Structure 1
């Protein structure tokens, strides 16, 4: 399998500019306005208009309006229409048409066909999925349509009236009112973020190693209840012989880079710095389990997509995500064997992506999603058997989990809609209690400190997640 090239890594970062809602709004609004006025634009007037609406762009960057909050955006849109008027109705129609083209045809059909081989007819389904999407990516129709319409109305008003006291007063008062509205709305109704552990990991003391190796397989974007619906005989066997966490919660925002960073540092985005897939400053800002292992003379290797290189750098070997979705996980697991054989790591993490990509392109409530989960089951069974034949599962712990779930619609994830919040998580191995189901609330930030505890190394310096001690029975590894 091809390694993700520098070009692919850069293109993945570029895609995030138009995929992440915070950056999409200014990029889309300015691009649409320039396209509409191509040939008759006064650049000086346009520059002044942009300066006048800049505070509103900043406001929309700071505040997301996902889930039910998005419906409140129609109120400021209505108010803006009354105050500023609709100087260019054709511009609004053009913007809506271009948004439909971008989401349904460019993103939902052309992009997915070229990158993962989705059918050319995907637009027949995906338009319905976009209408149900609730996260704050650019595919959240009912968040971004009122946002870009309001911004275009304000931009047109400022462009036509120019820089004068009345226009500045109208824009200033409206923006201030919008800031108060957003702040109150988020204080009162934005109440679904997970409760964070307030202290550093302190529920266990690291002693002798209980496992020689830890292998973590992450089925990216696997919705928990859909895993239980799928045909997964091998994973069922692992669960029966190990410990299942039935209320394992992901973090906020539930974006891939943010989740992986929390999983392997043991803390939250506000500390490790990876607050979305859009990474402005490369590398987690706190110690990861990979750094801890290196300091202790051990080796940790992650095998994942180009996004994860932005967070983990030298510890991450990347694969190209430009591959047919029916074969990509087969290629990943084949290459995972080659990397494992070459590196012989103490901690090995491999990310499978076909389930996530199916959810995004075809939806999570369709048969294709269950088929991809069943495919993942067979590939994990093969990988496990390969490790077992090598003798590498003796005194090892094998973890299967998801970084986040996926909501209805285009399999959105980020802001913890139904289906996103709780993820599959189970462990198997000689150090793990068999036949146990934990129904108490836990968080994926417990992964890094639990790995450290199992391997007898210090916790990452900012880890907050409690060690999953209820799954572990005392069993020192044999020497040699």
Structure 2
């Protein structure tokens, strides 16, 4: 299976500028405004108007970049739009501009992204737009495909740019009817800023609570507890309830014969690069520095489990798509994400076999991507999504059989999980809607307690410290999650705390 090429790595970063909601809003708004006025590009007065309008709107751009308006908070985004229309009710409304913006947005999300892009990248049908339009209109995640968040944002920004630019460029509004004064605009900005702050402070209350303090080290009972390899098999974007519905006999057998954490919580925001960064550093986005799939400054700011393993002469590898290179760098064995989705997980499994045969790492993390990609392209509540979970189950069974035959599975511990779930819409994940927050998570192996269900709430930040325990490595520098010791304790002998 091909590695991600240098071009694909750069292209993935560029795509995130359009895929992630925060950078998309200003890029799309400015782009639409310029395209709509393309015939005026040769007129110097247009650029004056554009510059003044953009300069005026910059504080509002910054405010909307800072605040996400997650989930139901996006419904409140229409009130600033109404407020602006009332405050500057005499402003000329160029309906062609707003119709163009809405039309281009729907074309970009429904056809270019949902059909053309997915057909070229993963082989979805040319008719995918017939379903994708429904997904865009009810999507709730933090991407550009969140129509209910993006529409009021860019319509208000276009209104401000167009109204302010015309006013300031025309001798302080001498030829316009609207009285767009600095005082009225400053009051409007202050009002929107206070409004957003109040909403987020009082209504945004579903962000998971962080673990206080750093991980308390746990000493293994025996040398054997850290003698075997560890495999972390991540089925990217697998919803917990859809896993329950799937015919996945191998994984469900392992779950029954191992230790399951029934309340395993993902991170906020629940984006793939964020979640993987937290899983393998043991800490939160505010510390490791990865706050979305759009990584502005490459590399995590703290130690990872891969750094910890190097300190004791052991090796870990993460097999995943190009996005993960942005945070984990050279510890990632990249795979190309440009392949038919029906072949993706099998190709990843074959690459995992090759890594074990050639490098024989002590820790191997494998990201299976087909389930997530199906949710994004076709929706998480359809049969195609469940089928990808079932295919992953069969492939993991095959992979474990190969590991056993090659001797790699002796004394090995397996962790099966998802990095996040998926909500309705285009497989949304980011704001912890229903289906995103709690993920399947269980462990299996000779040192794992059999038939145990841990009902207490835990977080994926516990993955890194648990791997440190299993592999006899020091904790990553900023690890905060507790070791998942419930999976290893016996009734007769508890672990000793250092």
Task: Please give the TM-score of this superposition, normalised by the length of structure 2.
Answer: 0.93
The SS at the match of 1:245 is strand
Q: Which residue in the other structure is 1:58 paired with?
A: 62
C-alpha deviation, 1:322, in angstroms = 0.4
Deviation at 1:395, TM superposition (A): 1.4
* 1: CA distance, partners of 2:474 / 2:220: 7
How far apart, in 1, do the equivalents of 2:455 and 2:348 lie? 32
1:59-458 alignment runs, 5 A limit: 59-84=63-88, 85-162=91-168, 164=172, 166-202=180-216, 204-205=218-219, 208=223, 210-211=225-226, 212-458=228-474
- Using the alignment, how far apart are the partners of 2:288 and 2:216 within structure 1? 19
Runs of 4+ in structure 1 over 6 Å off: none
How large is the RMSD of aligned CA atoms in angstroms? Answer: 1.4
Q: Secondary structure at the match of 2:318?
A: strand
Q: Distance in 2 between matches of 1:31 and 1:154?
A: 15
Deviation digits for residues 197-224 of structure 1 (CA, Å, limit 9, x no counterpart) = 0110016346746132110110000001
Cα deviations across residues 104-131 of structure 1 (Å, max 9, x unaligned)?
0000110110100000110111101111
2: CA distance, partners of 1:436 / 1:86: 66
1:15 and 2:15 aligned? yes
Distance 1:350 1:100 in 2: 35
Q: C-alpha deviations, 1:365-402, integer Å up to 9, x for none?
A: 11111110000000000001111111221211011100
Q: Quick one: structure 1 residues 32 and 450, their matched pair in 2 at CA, closer, same or farther if it must change by over 3 Å? A: same
Does the CA-based 8 Å contact 1:129-1:410 persist in structure 2?
yes
Maintained 8 Å contact 2:164/2:180 = no
In the alignment of these two chains, the number of paired residues is 475
| Uncovered stretches (5+) of structure 1, i.e. residues with no partner | 476-480
Deviation at 1:260, TM superposition (A): 0.1
- Cα distance between partner residues in 1 of 2:443 and 2:114: 36
Q: Once the two structures are superposed, what CA deviation does each residue of 1:35-88 show, in whole Å capped at 9, x if it has no partner?
A: 000121421221121111100000000000121000000111111122233531
Q: Which residue of 2 aligns with 1:478?
A: none
| TM-aligned CA distance change 1:80 to 1:213, over 3 Å | same
Map 1:457-476 to 2 at 5 A. Answer: 457-473=473-489
1:252 shift after superposition? 0.2
Q: Which moved more, 1:210-219 or 1:261-270?
A: 210-219
Q: 2:496 corresponds to which residue?
A: none
**C-alpha displacement of 1:132:** 1.4
Structure 1 length normalisation: TM-score?
A: 0.97
The offset of 1:330, in angstroms, is 0.8
Shift of 1:168: 2.4
Deviation, 1:409, is 1.0
Q: Is the 8 A contact 2:3 2:335 kept in 1?
A: yes
